[in-house]
Amino acid sequence: MAAMTPEELEAFLAAHFPYLEEGRFRVEEVDDRYLRLRMRCHESHLRPGGTVSGPSLMTLADTATYLVLLAHLGPVAHAVTTSLNISFLRRPAPEDLIAEAHLLRVGARLAVAAVTIFSEGEQDPVAHATVTYSVPPLRWKEKETTEHTE
Amino acid sequence: MAAMTPEELEAFLAAHFPYLEEGRFRVEEVDDRYLRLRMRCHESHLRPGGTVSGPSLMTLADTATYLVLLAHLGPVAHAVTTSLNISFLRRPAPEDLIAEAHLLRVGARLAVAAVTIFSEGEQDPVAHATVTYSVPPLRWKEKETTEHTE
Amino acid sequence: MAAMTPEELEAFLAAHFPYLEEGRFRVEEVDDRYLRLRMRCHESHLRPGGTVSGPSLMTLADTATYLVLLAHLGPVAHAVTTSLNISFLRRPAPEDLIAEAHLLRVGARLAVAAVTIFSEGEQDPVAHATVTYSVPPLRWKEKETTEHTE
Amino acid sequence: MAAMTPEELEAFLAAHFPYLEEGRFRVEEVDDRYLRLRMRCHESHLRPGGTVSGPSLMTLADTATYLVLLAHLGPVAHAVTTSLNISFLRRPAPEDLIAEAHLLRVGARLAVAAVTIFSEGEQDPVAHATVTYSVPPLRWKEKETTEHTE
């Protein structure tokens, strides 16, 4: 079960990222290690030719990872992205985008998610990203670990 | 339906990559856009402490992508890797590794696959990779090229 | 020698990406395979705590690659990003950011640049990115295509 | 100044990675944050057509990062790769390969290097990689940090 509800996640995002347009992101489904996030299509994110810009897709992948990590850990403000890799697969239509984020690993220090992004109503993905976050210090102070993968 | 059977894929690999140890890789399942590949655990791939080395995991991700692309396109010898991104998630046990490769996109010039790697009998992945291949020249017949890096 | 001057590059950017704030990017130096790009610090790009957001750094890396490719090829409108990998190294100060983009390869189909990003006046980089673009169809004239993702 | 000499680094590698062929890697230059590593060309690393295989290039990038980290920190056995991204730029000739590794960041928990790989005697790179290692636990036990980038 997720540590936070969709409403709590959206409220947290609005409180901590006041520069995001209100209502741009909507959490559609959330579980302990999975989150589906909708990003509304808006003229300012369009590239010439009526497609959604690359930076918008990167922002969506990053935000979806942040939220699925919060859904797993509870409200922690200091998680930060350490790396992001994204492959652009198809030109997105000027529609809402849906990100499906799967937490692959939450360790004492790093968390990794795979994020696949679709245009509303399409089956083939428009982008695939792998995003790594640092887990905030408070977590690893509470924890002994002998893990070597991070 | 896949363009090649597991046996044809293994025979192709042996013929084109004679330096691979015989029997190191086994194709366990194949479909038009999906392939599951087993890599036998062997002492020479172990790191100190009895784990499988990073380069072995990278070789597995790369090979699984190559084979799923062949399964989709049929026997084409000149596909080459243009980029590979891998996140190491957990220390693999000294067991066989299983790669699940999904083709995300096959375009006229590039193909992209997401590959998740598991230790035999484990549920949590040990690595996740995104691999991009160039699609061989024969696919776009208008063009002669001797380039192999893209 | 570069195929376009800093002023031509900035004018091209403004014409093709009307949603970018005017004056946000300034080309400070350009050569055949190198470009230095300044991104003005602006309140809307700041994360809580007064740092520049990850998406702003990704936009900067992507834009610097696009411009160095134009500087090499001349004014071509249809180059598109196929993949972007970024490592966030240090928390950037709320200052202007400077991207140094080096073209590593321009092939018939793909171009790859390495981009290192610094905060104004600092020696240690805040981020390092590798960005791959498709080279526009006009470059290989044998071929008609409407694909834009590769 | 580097914490270890080329000879010490090579001896450390041989002791901890007994499965590497003796003499395959030679440290040609080392500094506190820079290392140049030569990988001998050997028939077993060749792909059909006489080029060096992708996995060999990945092994070289990974090993160069490990060694430059040792050169910075001194002899620590438990550093492990957390992620590796590589772009293949040109088909390497069947010659020795030279990796130039630059440490971009050594934090309390993560270290990141950029590695550019050349064929012996060539000016244009054959590959560019970004490699992230975890810094062994003993380091972060000794250290208080308020850093947020990892």
Q: Is A148 on the interface with D (CB under 8 A)?
A: yes
pLDDT digits (tens, 9 = 90+) for B68-97: 999 999 988 778 899 999 999 999 888 899
H helix count then E strand count, chain D: 3, 8
Q: D9 near D66, Cβ under 8 Å?
A: no
Alpha-carbon distance of D107 to A30, in angstroms, equals 33
3-state secondary structure of B12: helix
Q: How far apart are the first and last CA of chain D?
A: 25
Amino acid at residue number A14: A
pLDDT confidence bin for B21, thresholds 50/70/90: confident
Which residues 35-64 on chain D approach chain B with CB closer than 8 angstroms?
A: 43-49, 51, 53-55, 58-59, 62
Residue whose structure tokens are 């992945």: B125
pLDDT digits (tens, 9 = 90+) for B29-41: 999 999 999 999 8
**pTM of the predicted protein model:** 0.89
Q: Check if CATH label 3.10.129.10 holds for domain C6-139.
A: yes
**Look-up: residue for tokens 């140049």?**
D36
Distance CA C47, CA C87 (A): 17
Q: How many C-beta atoms lie closer than 10 Å to residue B3's C-beta? A: 15
Q: In this complex, which of D124, D128, D149 lies closest to C90 when CB atoms are compared?
A: D149
Q: Does residue C142 register a pLDDT over 60?
A: no
Is C150 in contact with C82 (CB distance < 8 Å)? yes
The answer to whether residue C5 neighbours chain B at the CB level (below 8 Å) is no
Per-residue model confidence as pLDDT tens digits over D60-114: 999 999 999 999 999 887 789 999 999 999 999 888 999 999 999 999 889 999 9
For chain B, list the strands marked E by DSSP. 25-30, 34-39, 46-47, 51-52, 80-88, 97-106, 110-119, 127-134
Please answer yes or no on whether C109 and B107 come within 8 Å at the CB atom: no
The model's confidence at residue B44, banded by pLDDT at 50, 70 and 90, is: low
The pLDDT of residue B110 is 94
Cβ–Cβ below 8 Å for D132 and A83: yes
Fold for the domain defined by A6-141: Thiol Ester Dehydrase; Chain A (3.10.129)
Domain boundaries along the sequence of chain B: 6-139
End-to-end CA distance of chain B: 27
Token pair for A38: 């909708």
User: Amino acid letter at D62?
Assistant: D
Contact (CB, 8 A) for D97 and D52: yes
Q: Which of B87, B112, B133, B146 to mutate to test the interface with D (most CBs of D within 10 A)?
A: B87
Beta carbons of A3 and A73 less than 8 angstroms apart: yes
CB pair distance less than 8 Å for B149 and D16: no
Q: What is the pLDDT of residues C17-70, one digit of tens each?
A: 776 777 889 999 999 999 999 999 866 666 656 667 888 899 999 999 999 999
| pLDDT higher at C149 or C7 | C7
Within 8 A of C90 by CB-CB distance, chain D residues are: 105, 147, 149
